[in-house]
Amino acid sequence: MKSFLIDSIHRIIAIVLLLSLISCKQDSIATEKATADKKATGHWRMVSITSGWTGKTDSSTEKIEMSINDQQQAIIYKNDTEVSRHQYVLEETGSGILRYKITQRSGSFSFDWPEEGYFKVSSKQLILDSTPTDGPAYTFERN
């Protein structure tokens, strides 16, 4: 009886660990293009901007939102008004890092939106990062 109880406890612990690993995997940063495209689809709210020059991170003072559809078209809204649309493509690098490149753009945007950079996305956060070239990194959270 004691052996059965110990085996049952071990099985429960193993199941809990397996489920926690699966949930962590689902929220990990996407490093493959197909997974990143799926995770990026949705509505995002900008929460911060990090300077590539100083490394300083500031909270977003304006209401900036981005909507991305499954054809990788992004629509940028400022205070609920559409200000820009762009089409982007993702490229996988040999080092497991994704890069994005804007291929078409329409509208105007009030600050320097990077044409290309690193693309990091999880189920809760999206980062457009051009800090390696001293550009900004824009961090968004899912709405």
Longest Cα pair distance anywhere in the chain, in angstroms?
Answer: 72
Q: What is the pLDDT of residue 123?
A: 92
Q: Is the pLDDT of residue 79 over 70?
A: yes
Q: What is the pLDDT of residue 27?
A: 66
- pLDDT at position 135 is 83
Q: How far apart are CA 83 and CA 74, in angstroms?
A: 11
Worst-scoring range by mean pLDDT, 80-84, 88-92, 105-109, 137-141? 105-109
Question: What does the alpha-carbon distance between residue 133 and residue 31 come to, in Å, rounded to a whole number?
Answer: 20
- Domains in the chain (CATH in brackets) are 36-142 (2.40.128.270)
Task: For the chain, count helices (H), then strands (E).
Answer: 2, 9
Query: Residue 20: its pLDDT value, please?
Result: 40
* 4-63 pLDDT per residue, tens: 555 544 444 444 443 343 334 456 888 888 999 999 999 999 999 998 888 899 998 889
Bridge partners (DSSP) of residue 73 are 87
pLDDT at 119: 92
139: pLDDT confidence band, cut at 50, 70 and 90? very high
